[in-house]
Amino acid sequence: MRVRYFRPQDFEKVMEIESEAFEEHNPFIYMNFYEMNNEYFLVADYNGYVVGFVAGYQMSETEGRIFSLAVKQDYRGYGIGTRLLEAIMRVFRRKALRYANLEVRLSNVRAQSLYRKMDFIPCWIEHGYYSDGEDGIIMKKVLSPHIRTGVRRVLGKPAHQREWPALKIRNKI
């Protein structure tokens, strides 16, 4: 199984998985995703067969939003959802985004446990977020690539070669 960018010929398969997974459908949104945010539209490809997808977009200068994630029913529970989430998070990091967020139905315990496993934190409830009146939970994750990679790069060298970034000392507040 590999995760790759969505291609227009995947559209039918993605729509099939989408209508199996969600009650509200809007195929035009996904075409827009391809046209406007194609770098954040990924599919799970199992021997040339699309078995899942994730679609997101850049919400602000610092934040990426995961708009939709679904795996074909028979392929759930094999780590594909995790792989898709990890992949879109890598894309967010590459774009220097610092946070990822998403919204999930209060009743969708399965997706919530996946997000919690991936260090998403439930932040607040949007009452009546969905068209059937169900509440949505907004969850966020800090991506923080800069600190971790920066520290690893510095600590990986022998002590005498370490060049710590200069600290700016401010006298006035």
Ligand X SMILES: CC(C)(COP(=O)(O)OP(=O)(O)OC[C@H]1O[C@@H](n2cnc3c(N)ncnc32)[C@H](O)[C@@H]1OP(=O)(O)O)[C@@H](O)C(=O)NCCC(=O)NCCS
Indicate if 115 belongs to the active site: yes
Given the complex with ligand X, which of 16 and 96 has the nearer CB atom?
16
Q: How far is the CB of 173 from ligand X (least distance, A)?
A: 43
Indicate if 24 belongs to the active site: no
Distance separating alpha carbons of residues 173 and 153, to the nearest angstrom: 31
CB within 8 Å of 19: residues ≥ 6 apart: 25
What the block records as the tokens of 65 is: 């939003």
Among the listed residues 99, 103, 130, 134, the single catalytic one is 103
Q: How far is the CB of 110 from ligand X (least distance, A)?
A: 4
Given the complex with ligand X, which of 113 and 144 has the nearer CB atom?
113
Instruction: Kindly report the length of the chain.
Output: 173
Q: Which of 109, 117, 173, 118 has the alpha carbon at shortest distance from 137? A: 109
Given the complex with ligand X, which of 21 and 43 has the nearer CB atom?
21
Q: How far is the CB of 96 from ligand X (least distance, A)?
A: 25
Closest-by-Cβ residue to ligand X is 81
Binding site for ligand X (CB under 6 A): 21, 69-71, 76-82, 104, 108, 110-111, 113-114, 117
Give the pairing of strands 99-105 and 63-71: parallel
What φ, ψ does residue 35 adopt, rounded to 5°? -75, -35
Which residues form the catalytic set?
103, 115
